[in-house]
Amino acid sequence: MTDDEKSLPNDIEKLKAMLLAEREQAARLVFLEEQFRLAQQQLFGAQSESHPSQGNLFNKAEVELDIIEDVVELTPTTVKKKPIRQRLPKDLEREVIVHDLSDEEKSCVCFGYQLHQMGESRSEKLEFIPAKVKVMEHVRLKYSCRTCEKECISTKVKSAPVPPSPIPKGFATPSLLSQIITSKYQYALLLYRQKSLFKQYGIALSRKTMSEWMMK
């Protein structure tokens, strides 16, 4: 008789209970392995932006954050600190708007005397100016000789040289190309999304055109 056989209980019911417990443990292990595999696939697998499960990842993160905040709120030793708003950068362009009282309001309601300014209060609001798109129209003036036009068979025409362009015979400027490339590779804004943004300005710019620009 082997050592394993010696360790088995003589009671049939106990033996069945042991087998059932081992089966449940094995099923639990398979379930956990499957959940781990699915989680790995969702986090690190190649997925498109429109994949239905990708939104769940963000929802899951938000749910976890809510749980953490709930735990912090329930902790009796937690002291809530008043949030401190950081000041906006001083080098940003600023527009000062002064709000003043009318001449009639600058009098004391008690005695009617003229009020004097004793101070001021300031508050900062952040204004967002959407991107501006404009057309750079290059006009090359042409010149010719009137005498040559009358007496010669052919007339030579002179004009200013064509300005250099990053994409020959294309209408893309360096600023437009830098915007497209930065949006795609730094901010992960895919070309089909950028196509929708340009469409809001009435510009029909296809994904194929933008892709060819970046390759060139």
pLDDT tens-digit map of 105-161: 999 888 888 999 999 998 888 888 888 889 999 999 999 888 888 888 888 889 988
The pLDDT assigned to 177 comes to 94
Q: Does 110 reside within a domain? A: no
Which amino acid, one-letter code, is at 167? I
The whole-number average pLDDT for the span 78-92 is 78
Q: How far apart are CA 16 and CA 23, in angstroms?
A: 11
The answer to whether residue 118 sits within a structural domain is: no
Q: For residue 75, what pLDDT band results from cuts at 50, 70 and 90?
A: low
Q: Are 143 and 159 in contact (CB under 8 A)?
A: yes
Residue of 201, 182, 48 lying closest to 210 (CA atoms):
182
Does residue 180 lie within any of the structural domains? yes
**Which residues, 6 or more positions from 78, have their beta carbon under 8 angstroms from its beta carbon?**
72
- 81 is a domain residue: no
Structural domain includes residue 86? no
Residue 58 has pLDDT above 50, yes or no: no
- Asked whether residue 157 is domain-assigned, the answer is no
Has residue 155 been placed in a domain? no
Cβ within 8 Å of residue 159, ≥6 positions away? 140, 141, 142, 143
Q: pTM value? A: 0.50
At 77 the pLDDT is 59
Range of 26's domain?
3-43+53-73
Ramachandran category for residue 92: left, alpha or beta (phi over 0 → left; psi -120 to 50 → alpha): beta
In a domain, 179, yes or no: yes
DSSP state of 92: S
CA 106 to each of CA 4, 87, 97, 122, 178: distance values in angstroms, whole numbers, following the listed order = 100, 32, 19, 20, 53
Domain count, the chain: 2
